[in-house]
């Protein structure tokens, strides 16, 4: 059988050790590929293949270590030095030697686990040494490149990155990865919507009052992340990629199929229908940015973190009231939020349905007022599942209603755990399935929206970051974005 080679740039980094290699070991352990896979780690540290293997083994589970002796001979390391032309020539020679008699048919997946400034120089060198050329019509001898986020820092940089990558690669060779799309519940949104006829007819503005997408994190600036976060902030780090992808899956129309082109075409339509903010006041009225301050449990504030400027206006929390201008969603607010150092860690997507036109149980002897309308929640983490909330009558005299729910979680319904996101995404990249990866046009459309927010924040008179205590659920000012909705408060991850 013709082998595949996976070439990981940034082979001594944390992502490789904690995510990529364990995912590849599980792919092999579970027999998910039908051909031999060789892994070549590329880094700048002067270590041997044996030393690299020892370092990697420390991050494997007991089940993974059981087959490590069988897989380790296929794990190779090469020191690429200063990444000169001669270094890349040596890399090509090493890859060709490992391919042996399959040199003309081996498939190659290049994974760029690098800082973004190295994406284009690395691809340029691969192209210069003939390591990217492949025949679009051939199944064997394929060449693919996986690019980690961030995909630029604004629209111009994203466009420049796409131009540079497409100079050497076709779009179907590019795999822009977002690990959120590998989560089982995220993938299940499409199945839930389009394979259950009882839900799709009510997935419209006539029945849905608003949609809430929350990505709440308890972590702060651990492991010295303050310096990085100063250059990113919550808008760049979470909203432009993760939350935009979740929004697309909720809001998109039914694709004509589940192939990559069909699914990504519908996601692009959603992002192009997402209205950028018209002017600074539009931003100030519909976006809240905030920083965490000191908490009640000796949690220090963001401005006291290492690597953070004392007068920093970098947001650790952002809440957005977004508008999608199309036939299905016009007039339905999409409320997005993400923050650090919050009271709970969870990611939810909740569709809040409208109340009935007549409240029959609010008359004499009835208690219905104050109860929230029906809701459908997709819990993406930590416990993956789906829940529907509705109202029922309590036993006894009168017409007293209370909230109830139905739902399921993956652990209760299925005997096996959901595969880790990187396992699913790496397997798809090896097999050439780009459905769960991001098209270049998606990245640019998402940056247009994000840049309209950043423009409002940098305008004269823009309000400064609000504050919220570490360990809370964010600033109270974000509640104003729920104006006009029943309930008028964000979910609490219950």
How is 11-54 classified by DSSP, letter by letter?
TTSHHIIIIIHHHHHHHHHTT--SS-EEEEEEESS---HHHHHH
Helical ranges in 225-361 per DSSP H? 226-234, 244-251, 260-273, 280-286
Nearest by Cα to 80 from 126, 38, 37, 28: 126
Q: What does the angle CA 248 – CA 259 – CA 432 come to, to the nearest 5 degrees?
A: 110
Q: Give the model's pLDDT for residue 415.
A: 64
4-148, superfamily in CATH?
A: NAD(P)-binding Rossmann-like Domain (3.40.50.720)
**Domain positions in the chain:** 4-148, 181-417+438-482
Q: Give the model's pLDDT for residue 80.
A: 92
Contacts of 194 (CB under 8 A, 6+ apart): 200, 254
d(CA 314, CA 428): 36
Output Rg (C-alpha) for the chain, integer angstroms. Answer: 25
Query: φ and ψ at 489, to 5 degrees?
Result: -145, 155
Is 6 within 8 Å of 143 (Cβ atoms)? no
Residues facing residue 419 across a β-bridge: none
Helical ranges in 100-154 per DSSP H? 119-128
What does each of the 494 residues of the chain score in pLDDT, given as a tens digit? Answer: 568 999 999 999 999 999 999 999 999 998 888 778 899 999 999 999 999 999 999 999 999 999 999 999 999 999 998 899 999 999 999 999 999 999 889 999 999 999 999 999 999 999 999 999 887 767 788 999 999 988 999 999 999 999 999 999 999 999 999 988 988 888 889 988 999 999 989 999 999 999 999 999 999 888 778 888 998 999 999 999 999 999 999 999 999 998 999 999 999 999 999 999 999 999 999 999 999 998 876 788 999 999 999 999 999 999 999 999 999 999 999 999 999 999 999 999 999 998 887 777 765 544 455 667 789 999 988 888 899 998 888 887 777 788 888 888 877 777 666 788 999 999 999 999 999 999 999 999 999 999 999 999 999 999 999 999 999 999 999 999 999 887 678 988 77
Q: Give the model's pLDDT for residue 92.
A: 95
0.85 exceeded by the pTM? yes
Note the CATH number of domain 181-417+438-482: 3.30.360.10
Q: What is the number of residues in the chain?
A: 494
d(CA 437, CA 57): 28
Burial of 32 (0-12, 13-18, 19+ CB in 10 A): middle
d(CA 4, CA 33): 10
Q: Is 242 among the catalytic positions?
A: yes
Q: Give the model's pLDDT for residue 366.
A: 46
Determine if the peptide bond prior to 63 is cis (ω within 30°).
no
Question: What SS3 state is found at 105?
Answer: coil
Q: Give the model's pLDDT for residue 363.
A: 57
Residues facing residue 147 across a β-bridge: 112, 176
Q: Write 253-258 long-range contacts (CB < 8 A, 24+).
A: 253/328, 254/193, 254/194, 254/200, 258/190, 258/435
Helical ranges in 73-133 per DSSP H? 85-99, 119-128
Spot the catalytic one: 179, 242, 352, 439.
Answer: 242
């Amino acid at each position: 059988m013709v082998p595949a080679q996976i070439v990981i740039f940034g082979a001594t980094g944390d992502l490789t050790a904690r995510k990529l290699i364990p995912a590849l070991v599980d792919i092999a352990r579970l027999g998910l590929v039908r051909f031999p896979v060789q892994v070549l780690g590329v880094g700048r540290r002067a270590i041997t293949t044996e030393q690299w293997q020892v370092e990697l083994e420390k991050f494997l589970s007991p089940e993974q270590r059981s087959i490590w002796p069988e897989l380790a001979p296929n794990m190779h390391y090469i020191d690429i030095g200063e990444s000169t032309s001669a270094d890349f020539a040596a890399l090509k020679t090493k890859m060709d030697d490992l391919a042996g008699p399959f040199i003309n048919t081996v498939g190659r997946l290049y994974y760029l686990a690098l800082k973004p400034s190295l994406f284009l120089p690395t691809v340029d060198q691969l192209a210069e040494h003939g390591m990217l050329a492949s025949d679009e019509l051939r199944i064997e001898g394929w060449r693919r490149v996986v690019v980690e986020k961030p995909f630029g820092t604004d629209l111009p940089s994203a466009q420049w990155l796409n131009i540079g990558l497409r100079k050497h690669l076709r779009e179907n060779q590019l795999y822009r990865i977002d690990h959120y799309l590998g989560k089982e519940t995220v993938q299940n949104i499409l199945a839930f919507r389009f394979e259950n006829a009882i839900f799709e007819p009510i997935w419209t503005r006539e029945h849905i009052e608003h949609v809430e997408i929350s990505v709440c994190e308890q972590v702060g600036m651990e492991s010295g992340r303050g310096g990085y976060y100063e250059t990113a902030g919550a808008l760049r780090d979470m909203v432009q990629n993760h939350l935009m992808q979740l929004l697309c899956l909720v809001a998109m129309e039914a694709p004509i199929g589940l192939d990559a082109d069909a699914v990504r075409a519908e996601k692009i339509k959603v992002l192009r229908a997402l209205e950028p903010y018209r002017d600074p006041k539009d931003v100030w009225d519909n976006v809240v940015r905030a920083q965490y301050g000191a908490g009640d449990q000796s949690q220090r504030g963001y401005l006291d973190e290492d690597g953070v400027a004392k007068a920093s206006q970098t947001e650790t929390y952002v809440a957005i009231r977004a508008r999608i201008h199309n036939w299905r969603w016009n007039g339905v607010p999409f409320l997005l939020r993400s923050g650090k150092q919050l009271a709970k860690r969870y990611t939810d997507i909740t569709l809040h349905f409208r109340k009935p036109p007549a409240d029959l149980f609010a008359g004499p002897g009835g208690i219905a007022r104050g109860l929230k309308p029906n809701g459908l929640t997709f819990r993406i983490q930590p416990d993956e599942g789906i829940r529907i909330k509705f109202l029922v009558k309590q036993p006894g005299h009168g017409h007293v209603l209370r909230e109830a729910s139905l739902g399921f979680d993956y652990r209760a319904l299925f005997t096996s755990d959901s595969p880790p996101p990187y396992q699913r995404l790496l397997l798809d990249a090896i097999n050439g399935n780009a459905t769960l990866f991001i098209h270049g046009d998606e990245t640019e459309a998402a940056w247009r929206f994000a840049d309209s927010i950043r423009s409002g924040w940098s305008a004269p008179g823009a309000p400064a970051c609000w504050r919220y205590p570490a360990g809370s659920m964010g600033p109270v000012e974000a509640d104003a974005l729920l104006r006009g909705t029943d309930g008028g408060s964000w979910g609490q991850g219950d």
